[in-house]
Amino acid sequence: MKDSTFVETIRIADGDPQLIGYHQQRLRRTILEAFGSETHIDLRQILSPRFISGNCTAAAPHDTLKCRIVYSTEIRQIEILPYTPKEIRSLRIVCGEDIDYHLKKSDRSDLTRLASLRGDCDEIIISRNGGIITDTSYSNLVFVTVDRQLLTPSDPLLKGVMRQSLLDSGVIKEARLTCTDIISGENITHAVMINAMLPLDLSRAIPIDRIKT
């Protein structure tokens, strides 16, 4: 993967990078797998308060910021921009059998291709391996059950930092979920999108009847 680049997208709230330890761990694992080497990149050192304040001139200091770091064995680019989440009201399940995104690549062409199949929905849910639920095109998922359990698919495309943080804290649990589990509505009531920029927020939950196939 000599010419490959990867991305860490870090949420900055009130000037403070969130989940920075999880991002550092994933960056280290990615470089080790992709290039076979350890890394000297230290995200905490790079994203100092002075660096953040000096590179977010398009936003007020208290705004939620999106820091996008592109890297290979070295940092290639850093952008810090204001962040406003997309409003997602409906989802469509699409099949992505051949997709591999276990490393957070900057090349998202396969995900973009699948996202184009959303039709009249706002976003997609990607299934693989005969109908096993994974992620959306840019987030992990949490499903709310009738007895208010919070389940995340055990077969995600990408093991996101927010997902891992919620698993570690015991807020969510892994479960192998199928398309049938979702669309039947027998046990699942809502879906919630999570990623580094989207903390778990049940007010954004999407009712199961807004998930199409």
149: its two tokens: 């359990």
Pairing status of strand 91-95 against strand 123-128: parallel
Give residue-wise pLDDT tens across range 113-156.
999 999 999 999 999 998 999 999 999 999 999 999 999 999 99
pTM confidence score: 0.94
62 Rama sector, left if φ>0, alpha if ψ -120 to 50, beta otherwise: alpha
d(CA 90, CA 127): 16
pLDDT value at residue 210: 97
Low-confidence ranges of the chain (pLDDT < 50): none
